[in-house]
């Protein structure tokens, strides 16, 4: 069947089951948007205020639904505006396909208007990039891109179409192949030959070795990393933890991989890890890390990390093994598959003394009996009033760490946070994507005044699509996390961190047609949040905090994991 | 320690860029790099020489394997492969020195590609060590220009990557 090249792009999206796309139009991508107009009943396009917001929204959509996110942008500044969003998705292994257009073939490389080499720019921050110069390759490239984004360790892929390829006069051969079957098409097959477009099958021998190591361990511990979340291996992981009867720490990306309220949960590990998690790591004799990459925020000092333990690394990506921390044993495979094979080999273990020792170090949720509004009061009100399955999208900094410490995430995709890239401004975009992907769930955007200012123009997207997202702004008038470092390490020299300036977030919310609330006391928090939950529209809570609240505990970068700078 | 990495990649725009990008991101230098199409016109072979520790090369090998353009990667063990490099060198030569230069060429098996009243252009394809010797022998005559291809390598015996 002959169809327009742009039509093939849309049909290929439908093949993959895509129904929601995010983006921003412009000169070179006009042909694609013109075709999108024909498909407006099948493909719901969300127009954001800025391409970065669209990228984060597609990312948040992907993280919260487990599907591949899709994002459009035009050439030049349209594509460079995406790059922070692409890098964010890349660092956190989130599957997003970015579709951009470039100038026409004769203008390529001539510094034409809005021309930039985006496939070159995006190279180190994507799993793959494609420059489409021949329209006939569109179906193959599209199918390959989705397969690459979603399989193995997921990640972003960018396809750049030359404008002439998308000309309405260009007709190509196309045959509909549902994505479940499109692995049989030739381009995917050639890729599958060299790369095995499926997760590597774990080695049974490796798993038997681990079962044996577990049998000999007296003080085992588990780390739940982002791989458990991305691989939706939470049930298998929980079964492993319960069979092992071992303490479980989470990384930032692992939030939602293991129920935060579980009796074996010791909370976050690393720089702002709990005392229980960090001490367990230091004293255990077997550390099993599932889908975590021992980043510098977890393995602060790689040489002494879990120095008494045999370290076992389970990961889908072979290149993560021995990258940051040298391990004693590793298993390559998806978290789910490895644990499905491991769990039946394990009897029920019991480590009462070890467990009691570590769990006794847990401090429980922070409480606060005072009258002043603190981060604890805010988080406590949210936890109490919002539904249990509320999705929380955060930005980056103190409010992010407080949220992960305080909330008990219980399923993958419940916590959306930029763990690897640490992108300020990620939260609102991600919340928009999550709300569109999960219309029946409550989505809360937790942010700080610094982060919120970075992408708050997406409030117009919240308003336009009538998304009932509640943005809770931890407004302490400073870049809190940076100030905390300045207080503790830089002798109170507050260089360029004080945000003693506007805007008035309540007025800002109102200017965007949303509700704004000023919150200065715990009582106001309670009533404002209740009101926001029933408002049926986007709301902004401007919560005023003391400038010197700190995230506790804290181990400085490069220090030994139990050398707490503050407790 | 010098290591030789042989990589089979899809022969398309950007593939080389992605591969060299992996090296530059980790801030280590490629000593030499040679690219050429294989018997299959859709596949190129890249031979990369790097000077770094085993663990670094192992990490790069894993990272290379992840690139979708890469079909196969193999670090070649010292002594297990045939490695050759081509050098073209232009050297000052006149009627007095020409014969001496010819003698060096004969000993090392180099060929004369071009000759002028004041210069000779010579080519030698051999191991990097022999190329170094050749270059050192020519230096007293004053070398005008040197171009080297970088090593290309294949495994010894019947095995292939």
Interacting residues of A216 by C-beta distance below 8 A, sequence separation 6+? none
My answer on whether omega of the bond before A503 falls inside 30° of 0, hence cis, is: yes
The pLDDT value recorded for residue A185 is 62
Q: Does position A140 have pLDDT exceeding 70, yes or no? A: yes
Q: Touching check for B74 and chain A: CB below 8 Å?
A: no
Q: Do B62 and A321 touch (CB under 8 A)?
A: yes
Q: Touching check for B25 and chain A: CB below 8 Å?
A: yes
Instruction: Mutate one of A154, A319, A327 to test the B interface: name it (highest B CB count within 10 A).
Output: A319
Show residues of chain B in contact with A319, CB under 8 Å: 59, 62-63, 65-66
Q: Do A124 and B21 touch (CB under 8 A)?
A: yes
* Residues A288, A396 within the same domain: no
Asked if residues A555 and A564 have their Cβ atoms less than 8 Å apart, the reply is: yes
The Cα–Cα gap between A391 and A442 comes to 6
Q: How many CB atoms lie within 10 A of CB A533?
A: 18
Domain extent, residue A384, equals 375-544
The pLDDT value recorded for residue A524 is 97
Report pLDDT digits (tens) over A469-486: 999 999 999 999 999 999
Quick check: do B2-78 and B82-153 share a fold? yes
Per DSSP, A319 falls in state: G
The Cα–Cα gap between A117 and A166 comes to 18
CATH number at residue A533: 3.40.50.970
Q: Do B66 and A194 touch (CB under 8 A)?
A: no
Q: Touching check for B20 and chain A: CB below 8 Å?
A: no
CA distance A190 to chain B (A): 10
Instruction: Please report, in angstroms and rounded to a whole number, the separation of the first and last CA atoms in chain A.
Output: 67
Residue A198's pLDDT band, with cuts at 50, 70 and 90, is low
CA distance B103 to chain A (A): 49
Q: How many CB atoms lie within 10 A of CB A275?
A: 18
* Residues A283, A154 within the same domain: no
Show residues of chain A in contact with B14, CB under 8 Å: 119-120, 123, 129, 131
* Residues A127, A186 within the same domain: yes
* Residues A180, A242 within the same domain: no
Asked if residues B23 and B61 have their Cβ atoms less than 8 Å apart, the reply is: no
Instruction: Mutate one of A123, A191, A313 to test the B interface: name it (highest B CB count within 10 A).
Output: A123
If DSSP codes are grouped into helix, strand and coil, which group holds residue A220?
A: strand
* Residues A274, A379 within the same domain: no
CA distance A129 to chain B (A): 9
Q: Touching check for B55 and chain A: CB below 8 Å?
A: yes
Q: Touching check for B52 and chain A: CB below 8 Å?
A: no
Q: Which residue has the higher pLDDT, A533 or B30?
A: A533
Domain B82-153 is found in CATH 3.40.50.1820: no
The pLDDT value recorded for residue A370 is 85
Q: Touching check for B136 and chain A: CB below 8 Å?
A: no
Q: At how many degrees (to 10) do helices A51-65 and A426-437 cross? A: 50
Report pLDDT digits (tens) over A239-280: 999 999 999 999 999 999 999 999 999 999 999 999 999 999
**Rama region for A446: left / alpha / beta (φ>0; ψ in -120 to 50; rest):** beta
Instruction: Please report, in angstroms and rounded to a whole number, the separation of the first and last CA atoms in chain B.
Output: 23
Show residues of chain B in contact with A119, CB under 8 Å: 14
Structural domain includes residue A554: no
Q: Does position A183 have pLDDT exceeding 70, yes or no? A: no
Residue A365's pLDDT band, with cuts at 50, 70 and 90, is low
My answer on whether omega of the bond before B64 falls inside 30° of 0, hence cis, is: no
Q: Touching check for B139 and chain A: CB below 8 Å?
A: no
Structural domain includes residue A561: no
A226-A353-A278-A450 Cα dihedral, nearest 10 degrees: 70
Residue A34's pLDDT band, with cuts at 50, 70 and 90, is very high
ipTM of the complex, rounded to two decimals: 0.80
Q: Do A318 and B63 touch (CB under 8 A)?
A: no
Query: Sign (positive/negative) of CA torsion A224, A226, A232, A233?
Result: negative
Point out the domain boundary residue: A195, A225, A249. A195
Structural domain includes residue A558: no
Structural domain includes residue A40: yes
The Cα–Cα gap between A205 and B98 comes to 67
- Kindly state the tokens that stand for A11: 């049909």
Q: Touching check for B27 and chain A: CB below 8 Å?
A: no
* Length of chain A measured in residues: 567
Average pLDDT over residues A441-445: 98
Asked if residues A425 and A448 have their Cβ atoms less than 8 Å apart, the reply is: no
Q: Touching check for B59 and chain A: CB below 8 Å?
A: yes
Number of domains in chain A: 3
Structural domain includes residue A369: no
If DSSP codes are grouped into helix, strand and coil, which group holds residue A507?
A: helix
Q: Do A319 and B59 touch (CB under 8 A)?
A: yes
Show residues of chain A in contact with B25, CB under 8 Å: 124
How wide is the angle at C-alpha A27 spanned by C-alphas A26 and A33, nearest 5°? 60
Q: Do A318 and B65 touch (CB under 8 A)?
A: yes
Average pLDDT over residues A102-108: 95
Q: Does position B13 have pLDDT exceeding 90, yes or no? A: no
Average pLDDT over residues B92-98: 95
The Cα–Cα gap between A58 and A46 comes to 10
Instruction: Mutate one of B8, B13, B14, B67 to test the A interface: name it (highest A CB count within 10 A).
Output: B14
User: H or E stretch including A280?
Assistant: helix A275-283
CA–centroid distance for A196 within its chain: 25
Average pLDDT over residues B47-69: 86
Q: Which of B14, B25, B66 sits opposite A319 (nearest CB)?
A: B66
* Residues A248, A348 within the same domain: yes
Q: Which residue has the higher pLDDT, B51 or A241?
A: A241
Could you tell me how many CB contacts below 8 A there are between chain A and chain B?
Answer: 36
Q: Which of A119, A191, A321 sits opposite B14 (nearest CB)?
A: A119
From A288, A295, A291, A294, select the one nearest A333 (Cα to Cα). A291
* Residue with tokens 């090593």, as numbered in its chain: B151
Q: Do B62 and A129 touch (CB under 8 A)?
A: no
- Kindly state the tokens that stand for B10: 């899809």
- Rg of chain B over all Cα atoms, to the nearest angstrom: 18
Q: Do B68 and A124 touch (CB under 8 A)?
A: no
Q: Does position A422 have pLDDT exceeding 70, yes or no? A: yes
Q: Does position A31 have pLDDT exceeding 90, yes or no? A: yes
Q: Do A322 and B21 touch (CB under 8 A)?
A: no
* Residues A257, A323 within the same domain: yes
* Residues A283, A329 within the same domain: yes
Average pLDDT over residues A496-517: 97
Query: Sign (positive/negative) of CA torsion A381, A386, A388, A391?
Result: negative
CA distances to A127, A253, A288, A432 from A53, in Å: 21, 21, 37, 9
Q: Does position B58 have pLDDT exceeding 80, yes or no? A: yes
Q: Please state which CATH class domain B2-78 belongs to.
A: alpha beta
Q: Touching check for B40 and chain A: CB below 8 Å?
A: no
CA–centroid distance for B125 within its chain: 10
Structural domain includes residue A190: yes
Show residues of chain A in contact with B63, CB under 8 Å: 319
* Residues A230, A303 within the same domain: yes
* Residues A423, A395 within the same domain: yes
Interacting residues of A65 by C-beta distance below 8 A, sequence separation 6+? A413, A437, A438
Q: Which of B62, B68, B70 sits opposite A148 (nearest CB)?
A: B68
CATH number at residue A252: 3.40.50.1220
Q: Which of B62, B68, B71 sits opposite A318 (nearest CB)?
A: B62
The Cα–Cα gap between A270 and A249 comes to 9
* Residues A452, A519 within the same domain: yes
Point out the domain boundary residue: A359, A391, A418. A359
Q: Which residues of A are catalytic?
A: 51, 113-114, 163, 481
From A514, A496, A493, A497, select the one nearest A505 (Cα to Cα). A514
Q: Which of A129, A194, A322 sits opposite B71 (nearest CB)?
A: A194
| CA-based nearest residue in chain A for residue B58 | A319
The residue ranges of DSSP E strands in A291-433, in sequence order, are: 310-315, 329-332, 391-394, 415-416
A431-A432-A438-A441 Cα dihedral, nearest 10 degrees: 60
The pLDDT value recorded for residue A191 is 62
The residue ranges of DSSP E strands in A333-489, in sequence order, are: 391-394, 415-416, 443-448, 470-475
Structural domain includes residue A393: yes
Q: Do B13 and A131 touch (CB under 8 A)?
A: yes
* Length of chain B measured in residues: 161
Point out the domain boundary residue: A307, A335, A359. A359
CA distances to A32, A54, A79, A479 from A28, in Å: 9, 18, 11, 38
Q: Do B72 and A128 touch (CB under 8 A)?
A: no
Show residues of chain B in contact with A158, CB under 8 Å: none
A492, exposed or middle or buried, with CB in 10 Å at 0-12, 13-18, 19+? exposed
Structural domain includes residue A33: yes
Interface of chain A against chain B, CB under 8 Å?
119-120, 123-124, 127-129, 131, 148, 191, 194-195, 317-319, 321-323
| CA-based nearest residue in chain A for residue B18 | A123
From A129, A133, A166, select the one nearest A144 (Cα to Cα). A129
- Kindly state the tokens that stand for B130: 């022999």
| CA-based nearest residue in chain B for residue A194 | B71
Average pLDDT of the residues of chain A: 95
* Residues A355, A413 within the same domain: no
A8-A10-A15-A17 Cα dihedral, nearest 10 degrees: 170
CA distance A426 to chain B (A): 25
Asked if residues A68 and A146 have their Cβ atoms less than 8 Å apart, the reply is: yes
Domain boundaries, chain B: 2-78, 82-153
Report pLDDT digits (tens) over A44-85: 999 999 999 999 999 999 999 999 999 999 999 999 999 999
Q: Which of A123, A195, A323 sits opposite B21 (nearest CB)?
A: A123
The Cα–Cα gap between A499 and A454 comes to 13
Q: What percent of chain B has pLDDT over 70?
A: 100
DSSP string, B93-113: --TTTHHHHHHHHHHHT-EEE
């Amino acid at each position: 069947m002959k169809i327009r090249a742009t039509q093939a792009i849309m049909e290929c999206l439908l093949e993959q089951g895509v129904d929601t796309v995010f983006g921003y139009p412009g000169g070179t991508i006009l042909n694609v948007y013109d075709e999108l107009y024909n498909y407006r009943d099948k493909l719901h396009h969300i127009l954001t205020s800025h391409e970065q917001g669209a990228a984060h929204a597609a990312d948040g959509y992907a993280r919260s639904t487990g599907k591949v996110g899709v994002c459009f942008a035009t050439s030049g500044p349209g594509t460079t505006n995406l790059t922070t969003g692409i890098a964010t998705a890349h660092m956190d292994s989130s599957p997003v396909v970015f579709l951009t257009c470039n100038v026409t073939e004769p203008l390529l490389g001539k510094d034409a208007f809005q021309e930039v080499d985006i496939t070159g720019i995006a190279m180190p921050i994507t799993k793959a990039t494609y420059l489409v110069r021949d329209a006939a390759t569109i179906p193959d490239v599209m199918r390959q891109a989705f397969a690459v984004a979603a399989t193995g360790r997921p990640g972003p892929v960018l396809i750049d179409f030359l404008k002439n390829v998308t000309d309405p006069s260009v007709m190509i051969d196309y045959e509909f192949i549902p994505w479940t079957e499109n692995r049989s098409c030739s381009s995917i097959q050639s890729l599958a030959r060299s790369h095995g477009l499926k997760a590597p099958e774990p080695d049974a021998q490796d798993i038997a070795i681990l079962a044996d190591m577990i049998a000999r361990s007296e003080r085992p511990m588990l780390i739940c990393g982002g791989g458990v979340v991305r691989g939706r291996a939470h049930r298998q992981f929980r079964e492993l933890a319960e069979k092992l009867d071992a303490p479980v720490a989470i990384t930032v990306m692992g939030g939602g991989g293991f129920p935060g309220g579980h009796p074996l949960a010791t909370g976050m590990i690393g720089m702002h890890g709990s005392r229980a998690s960090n001490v367990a790591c230091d004293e255990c004799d077997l550390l099993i890390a599932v889908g975590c990459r021992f980043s510098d925020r977890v393995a602060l000092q790689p040489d002494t990390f879990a120095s008494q333990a045999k370290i076992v690394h389970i990961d889908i990506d072979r290149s993560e093994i021995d990258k940051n921390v040298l391990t004693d044993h590793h298993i390559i495979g998806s978290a789910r598959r490895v644990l499905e094979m491991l769990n039946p080999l394990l009897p029920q273990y019991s480590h009462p003394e070890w467990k009691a020792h570590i769990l006794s170090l847990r401090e429980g949720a922070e409480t606060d009996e005072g009258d002043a509004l603190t981060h604890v009061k805010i988080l406590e009100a949210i936890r109490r009033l919002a539904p249990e399955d509320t999705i929380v999208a955060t930005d980056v900094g103190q409010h992010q760490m407080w949220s992960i410490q305080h909330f008990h995430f219980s399923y993958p995709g419940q916590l959306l946070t930029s763990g690897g890239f640490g992108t300020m401004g990620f939260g609102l975009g991600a919340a928009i994507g999550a709300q569109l992907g999960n219309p029946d769930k409550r989505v809360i955007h937790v942010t700080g005044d610094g982060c919120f200012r970075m992408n708050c123009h997406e409030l117009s997207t919240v308003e336009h699509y009538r998304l009932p997202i509640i943005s809770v702004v931890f407004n302490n008038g400073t870049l809190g996390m940076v100030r905390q470092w300045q207080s503790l390490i830089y002798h109170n020299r507050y260089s360029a961190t004080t945000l003693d300036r506007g805007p008035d977030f309540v007025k800002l919310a109102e200017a965007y047609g949303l509700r704004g609330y000023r919150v200065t006391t715990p009582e106001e928090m309670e009533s404002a949040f209740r009101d926001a939950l029933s408002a049926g529209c986007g709301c902004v809570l401007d919560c005023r905090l003391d400038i010197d609240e700190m995230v506790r505990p804290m181990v400085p970068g490069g220090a030994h994991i139990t050398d707490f700078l503050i407790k | 320690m010098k290591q030789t990495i042989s990589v089979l990649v899809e022969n398309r725009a950007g593939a080389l860029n992605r591969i060299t990008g992996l090296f530059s991101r980790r801030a280590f230098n490629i000593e030499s790099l040679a690219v050429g199409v294989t018997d299959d016109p859709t596949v190129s072979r890249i031979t990369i020489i790097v000077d770094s520790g085993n663990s670094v090369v192992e990490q790069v090998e894993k990272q290379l394997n992840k690139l979708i353009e890469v079909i196969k990667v193999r670090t070649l063990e010292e002594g297990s492969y045939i490695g050759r490099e081509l050098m073209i060198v232009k050297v000052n030569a006149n009627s007095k020195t020409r014969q001496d230069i010819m003698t060096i060429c004969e000993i090392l098996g180099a060929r004369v590609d071009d000759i002028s009243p004041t210069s000779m252009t010579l080519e030698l394809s051999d191991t990097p060590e022999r190329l170094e010797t050749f270059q050192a022998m020519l230096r007293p005559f004053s070398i005008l220009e040197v171009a080297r291809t970088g090593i290309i390598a294949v495994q010894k015996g019947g095995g292939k990557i």
